[in-house]
Structure 1
Amino acid sequence: MSLPATTLAASPPQAAFGDTIEILPKIFQDDTNLAVMRRRLDPSLAAGVAAQLEEARRLDWRWRGGVGDALAEDLLGHLPRPERAGPLVEDIALICEAMAYLFDTETIGVRLQRLEGAMCPRFHVDNLAVRLVSTYAGPGSEWLPESAVERAGLGAPRPDKPDPLRDAQSIRRLGCGDIALLKGEGWIGNEGRGLVHRSPQPAPGEPRLLLALDPG
């Protein structure tokens, strides 16, 4: 799948926030590398999520394919408490359908993981075009506005590299339940402008449930 070419804007990349799904297409704008639909999980969805985390069981479900019934059935078969997972499965299926529609693709890569620690603790950019992330439990992903980034420090750490974080006070965090599109370095025309982000460190005994989607 090819994504649209963009022309680099003179201004630094920006973030767009809104309370409805209409905010997500903002990711196609040249000057936007983060689009976030803010939301709170409704009580039935939050209860279903909590049920999946009641037992300290490994959860690492992955899917690549279409977004129809087969996806929902496969997910349901991998959850620890399928009898209480209806709202969660429905929510993930709807997000997958929205992602497929937005990027005009029939194939979605999906990952739902229970995390006990930070998966990617160093600030970095993704080399892919775009990724959707949403945290169902625990702290949301952390990201940096451009003013707080030292891009020369990105990549594998070396003694001669600066810290990619210029200002620790500028670290931003997505909320639990937010749906966010992160534009990466692989988006045509976005080289050197991918969103800088990292995984948060959950508190001891506070598992994180993370959903990540890649189109195509």
Structure 2
Amino acid sequence: MASLLDAPEAAVRVCDALPNILALRQPSVEMALWPREIPPEMAAALDDLPAASLPDGRVLVRLDDLEAALDTLFLDRAATAALRPWLIADIAMLAALFTDLTGSIEIDVRLERITGDACWKFHRDCVEARLLTTYRGPGTEWVSPVDSAAALRDQKAYRGPLNRFPPQAVGVFKGSCAGPGSGIVHRSPPLAGRGETRLLLCLNLPSSASPERWTR
């Protein structure tokens, strides 16, 4: 399994800096991927937390209220005291970029603790755009557009080229609502029976699936 593209193509851009993710605005680009490394002490703190202490929840919020809303998702405040300010600031930074990319004044933020085989099927998201990063555990798996039909057809039997977001990499990609032929085919890495826990951040535009707007 490749961490990055074995053969880069026009539809997928691997970026060397966060602002370059805005390449997703180009009609020919389906995904922009920014490989990054978070501070080692933060990565270690995330890995050392008991799974039950990881934040978990979803909020629909204006960017101005995001940090306060995110703070409510940390229920084990003692265990996350050293980590919480950095993680909230990092999510806020990514959310600001996502709102700049999409032009939305509100953002649907899901910070999800995953222990099983969530979203294990290859699929396209029914959204215009989505941002994903995995703070802990294996990253999202995806296939190049040329392999999309085979992955959707074969599912668990698929044996073609498969890519995975590197640890803590940030990816923004178009979904099926972005237009005909759009949508990166991807899946969550299977976890059942492995004793692993992922902490996944997912940023979306507001939709009928969003929770009620968060207020102070």
Give me the TM-score of the superposition, normalised by structure 1: 0.80
Contact 1:13/1:193 (<8 A) preserved = no
Q: State, as a whole percentage, how many aligned pairs show the same letter.
A: 29
Q: Tell me if 1:209 matches 2:206.
A: no
Deviation at 1:98, TM superposition (A): 1.4
Deviation at 1:167, TM superposition (A): 5.7
Separation (CA, whole Å) in 2 of partners of 1:97 and 1:207: 27
What is the 5 A alignment of 1:46-57?
Answer: 46-50=43-47, 53-57=49-53
Separation (CA, whole Å) in 2 of partners of 1:91 and 1:150: 35
Aligned to 2:142: 143
Query: Once structures 1 and 2 are overlaid, which stretch shifts more, 162-171 or 98-107?
Result: 162-171
Contact 2:54/2:199 (<8 A) preserved = no
Separation (CA, whole Å) in 2 of partners of 1:165 and 1:184: 22
Q: Tell me if 1:25 matches 2:22.
A: yes
Deviation at 1:175, TM superposition (A): 1.1
Q: Tell me if 1:78 matches 2:73.
A: yes
Match of 2:189 among 177, 193, 200: 200
Residue identity opposite 1:41 in structure 2: I
Separation (CA, whole Å) in 1 of partners of 2:137 and 2:68: 25
Deviation at 1:47, TM superposition (A): 3.6
What is the 5 A alignment of 1:51-66?
Answer: 53-57=49-53, 59-66=55-62
Q: Say if 1:201 and 1:164 are closer, same or farther in 2 by CA, change over 3 A.
A: closer
Structure 2 unaligned regions, length at least 5: 1-8, 207-216
Separation (CA, whole Å) in 2 of partners of 1:166 and 1:58: 33
Deviation at 1:198, TM superposition (A): 0.5
Separation (CA, whole Å) in 1 of partners of 2:69 and 2:171: 24
Aligned to 1:103: 102
Contact 2:130/2:172 (<8 A) preserved = yes
Aligned to 1:133: 132
CA offsets 1:42-75 (integer angstroms, 9 cap, x no match): 1233244335x3243574311111112x321232
Where 1:32 maps in the other structure, the secondary structure is coil
How many residues are matched?
193
CA RMSD of aligned residues (A): 2.3
CA offsets 1:104-123 (integer angstroms, 9 cap, x no match): 22100000011002211110
Where 1:124 maps in the other structure, the secondary structure is coil
Contact 2:53/2:80 (<8 A) preserved = no
Aligned to 1:40: 37
Separation (CA, whole Å) in 1 of partners of 2:117 and 2:26: 30
Deviation at 1:41, TM superposition (A): 1.3
Aligned to 2:5: none
Contact 2:25/2:101 (<8 A) preserved = no
Separation (CA, whole Å) in 1 of partners of 2:104 and 2:145: 30
Structure 1 unaligned regions, length at least 5: 1-11, 155-161
Query: Once structures 1 and 2 are overlaid, which stretch shifts more, 123-132 or 200-209?
Result: 200-209
Residue identity opposite 1:186 in structure 2: C
Q: Say if 1:35 and 1:166 are closer, same or farther in 2 by CA, change over 3 A.
A: farther
